[in-house]
Chain A
Amino acid sequence: MNKARGNPLNIAAAHGILILYTIIALFPVFVILINSFKERRSIFREPLALPDRESFSTIGYETVFNQGDFFLYFQNSLIVTVATLFFVLLFGAMAAFALAEYKFKGNTLMGLYLALGIMIPIRIGTVAILEMMVATGLVNTLWTLILVYTAQGLPLAIFILSEFMKQVSDDLKNAGRIDGLSEYTIFFKLVLPLVRPAMATVAVFNMIPIWNDLWFPLILAPSEATKTLTLGSQVFIGQFVTDWNAVLSALSMAILPVMVLYVIFSRQLIRGITSGAVK
């Protein structure tokens, strides 16, 4: 790539390719968003035109608000995601600390055991998970999703966090021990604050797949009261296939929260990936 040498033609070509791909990446989102604010006829007549005073309409959103319980779905997704992140981070950090800090028999074996789940997808065990959730009566509760996603998120979280915990200086921890701090205090007061950036990375990595998952909500918690936003919009759109206004509005409303999260956390996410957290 002799673009590095600053040849203006090559720089222009580089921008050209990147702009082209950026358009490809954003175009579908853009089309959905603008058309969700148009009335039915202009959606079909001029799909690429921005909504103007004549074609502007929020009829789709009205249908969505009247027919679907999107606020509830959103709340469910939020509860599941936040609770899962809490457990993944707490349990993951504790286990990572044990693996990184203490030398005990079976340490390596335990590390390997916990790392298995990075490569083997939890979906393979769905049949037995459903049976177990039915047997324990957890099916169609948000807890079932929280438990499954916690189990799914732990392996990678432990793997990433223990790498970071190994870098925390021993002197600091030993100084704490000399001062008579318990191992728990050392973990919560000394080590956890130091690995906060790594925790943020783990949180962001986990957030998106949980928020977007369709498989487990569909199988474990499909009841009206526990639908997540992803499942809720899937079902809603399935019912309103021919109502284009409603479909486009529902899609836009499903896009919105992720986009807001992405705008808030994109730096963290991109830094996490590029700092080599997943290797």
Chain B
Amino acid sequence: MRQSRIKWHIVVFLAPAVLVYTAIMIVPLFNTLRLSLFTEVDQERVYVGLENFRTLFGDQRWSDSFWNALGNNFWFFFIHMLVQNPIGILLAAILSNPRLRFSAIYRTAIFVPTILSFVIVGFAWKLILSPIWGIAPGMMDAVGLGDFFQPWLGLEETSLTTLALISVWQFVGIPMMLIYAALLSIPDEILEAGECDGLTGFSAFWKIKLPLILPSIGIISILTFVGNFNAFDLIYAAQGALAGPNYSTDILGTFMYRTFFGFQLQLGDPHMGSAIASAMFGIILIGVCFYLFAIQSRMRRYQF
């Protein structure tokens, strides 16, 4: 008898979370995918199949913007992987030394940028790099590099890289903390065993610690990937919705925002916006699947 009865308390415990999550997250997600198959004709919603995607990839004006945004997004991600993660690993490796004093203070201070909002970060750097205020040129002059100063955020060639580096500055605390935690969890016996075999110092890090923290590096990479491919705030705060100069800092998030809401003379188009959102969904899904099946399943995990 007990088996067949519905256990109401389980339903009560699960219901609120499942309802909110389903109604606000899952349903809109699929609704957005569905909306990308429609368009508006004379204020009525018409089903057009994959027409929006044909426009997005086939129409020169749309596809140029899309590939530009996608390419910029990959460059944005590439800079993060190349700069953010190595710096994070280096700082974590130094901090994980048990004899180091004040490590809690360093940790707390280096994490500060991560808690600031994109608006603060974007404007603060914009002011600092601004040729009008002259903090950056002034400081570069002081060390004799004054001639190298350029208005980096204002130049097409450098603005995207500059913004990526600002974002790296903001988020370096996260890889640092996660790697730091991974390094602390390596038992001393393993390091001592390595020492008996003559592995100390840098080679101990390279041959023992680094292989052991690879799973953490994998997690950080996928978190960075997902974060970068739905990034929007920093670009919007620093360069506006037009992602200037001349769209050189346009990434998928800003492209979708402009398409969805419209800007200047172009009207907003929720259906094309949904098509771009669907493309973003696809890219993130491919990335996550690649991580789960190709990387995570092959990675050896060590139990201590």
Contacts and interface: CB of A to CB of B under 8 A. Distances in A.
Interface residues of B, number: 94
A131 to B, nearest CB: 7
Main secondary structure of the interface of B (DSSP, over half): helix
Nearest to A32: B124
A266 B109 CA distance: 10
Interface in B226-284: 226, 230, 232-233, 236-237, 253, 256, 260-261, 270, 273-274, 277-278, 280-281, 284
Interface string A95-128: 1011100101000001000101101111111111
Contact of A14 (B18, B28, B100): B100
B35 A127 contact: yes
Interface stretch (A2-10, A52-60, A64-72, A194-202): A2-10
A119 B288 contact: yes
A124 B281 contact: yes
A119 to B, nearest CB: 5
Contacts of B31: 125, 127-128, 131-132
Contact of A95 (B17, B138, B181): B17
Given A21-B110, A251-B124, A183 B233 contact: no
Contacts, number: 267
Nearest to A265: B115
Contacts of B174: 273
A128 B32 contact: yes
Interface in A160-193: 182-184, 187
Contact of B14 (A21, A98, A211): A98
A28 interface: yes
B112 A262 contact: yes
B97 A14 contact: yes
A90 B20 CA distance: 12
A152 B25 contact: yes
Interface in A15-53: 15, 17-18, 21-22, 24-26, 28-29, 31-32, 43-44, 47-48
A266 B111 CA distance: 9
Given A2-B201, A154-B21, A255-B120, A214 B233 contact: yes
Interface residues of A, number: 96
B116 interface: yes
Given A26-B109, A117-B25, A274 B184 contact: yes
Nearest to B122: A234
Contacts of B67: none
B81 interface: no
B202 A26 contact: no
Contact of B284 (A2, A11, A47, A120): A120
Given A47-B133, A262-B112, A102 B7 contact: yes
Interface in A246-279: 247-248, 251, 254-255, 258-259, 261-262, 266, 269-270, 273-276, 278-279
Contacts of A102: 7, 10
Nearest to A46: B138
Contacts of B277: 124-127
A108 B111 CA distance: 36
A212 B281 contact: no
Q: Which of A3, A28, A127 has the most CB of B within 10 A?
A: A127
B292 to A, nearest CB: 9
A122 B25 contact: yes
B29 interface: yes
Given A128-B31, A212-B116, A274-B180, A94 B135 contact: no
A151 B108 contact: no
Contacts of B270: 127, 130-131
Query: Max chain A CB contacts within 10 Å: which of B25, B97, B111, B273?
Result: B25
B152 interface: no
Interface stretch (B57-65, B68-76, B87-95, B154-162): B87-95
The interface centre, meaning the residue of B20, B87, B115, B205 with most chain A CB atoms within 10 A of its CB, is: B115
29 contacts: A1-B97, A4-B97, A17-B91, A18-B110, A48-B139, A90-B16, A91-B17, A95-B14, A98-B10, A102-B7, A117-B21, A125-B25, A130-B270, A131-B270, A147-B24, A187-B13, A211-B117, A212-B116, A212-B117, A212-B233, A214-B119, A237-B123, A244-B127, A258-B116, A261-B115, A266-B108, A270-B177, A273-B181, A275-B181
